[in-house]
Structures are given as structure tokens and as C-alpha cells.
Amino acid sequence: MQFLLDTHTLIFFLSDDSQLPKNAVRIIENLEHTCYISIASFWEMGIKVSLGKLTLNLDLEDVMKMTTEIGIEILPILPDHILTCSKLAFHHRDPFDRLIVSQAMEENLTLISKDQAFKAYDVPLVWS
């Protein structure tokens, strides 16, 4: 299976945070699965760090390096992702989350996220 990690999912995973359910950890660690993180998640982290709204245990460059080293692939933003995003209903107002939802839709990926607002978009969602 193929999964798209939400921004907080990656942060929880890399910091071994107990908020990430064991099922989600097993999915990410299972080498039979392909896991992705949107480049938009790194953009979001960078903005939030610079605004003082997010503190990471590592600097952003190390987070990016560690992500690829453990086999999580970085998903670029493609024109189809933007077009799908532009047509989404406003169940969610956060632009990064809207883009992540559109990427999951376009690429047929299951989202790993605690954000229950994603359910309104009828995308497969894993958390517990």
C-alpha cells in the first residue's frame, strides 16, 4: 500500500512521540509500504519554525535528510494537485492541509493523520 504522511505524523514519527498510534508506526516502518511526505509539509514546517509556532528537535535540513534516509519519499507539488486543490470544498481552510488532501486524492494515497476534517473529503484515512 501507499501512504501520505501529514506534517504532524512525520514530526511525531521522527521524534518518537507517543501521540503517534502504534498502528501508524507499524505502517511507516513496514518496508512493504511506500510512504510519502509532501514537499508542502517541509514548507509548512519552515514557515512555522520561522514564526516561532513550531519547535523541532532537529533543524529542518536534518529533518529532510533523515526523512529520505529512512525511505520516506518526498512528493512534489504537481499541476494536477493544484487543480484538484482549487476545486475542493472548504471543509478545511488550512492551505497546506488542502494541498495534502488533493495530493492524496490525485495519487490514490491513504493519509496518515489525526486531522478528522480530512474525512469530509472522502479520502482513506489512518490514525488509530
Domains and CATH numbers, the chain: 2-126 (3.40.50.1010)
At residue 16, does pLDDT exceed 80? yes
Indicate whether 128 pLDDT > 90. Answer: no
Question: How far apart, in whole angstroms, are the C-alpha atoms of residue 88 and residue 98?
Answer: 8
Which pLDDT does position 91 carry in this prediction?
86
Confidence at 38, pLDDT banded by 50, 70, 90: very high
User: pTM for the complete prediction?
Assistant: 0.95
Q: What pLDDT digit, counting tens, does each position of 1-14 carry? A: 999 999 999 999 99
| Mean pLDDT, all residues of the chain | 96
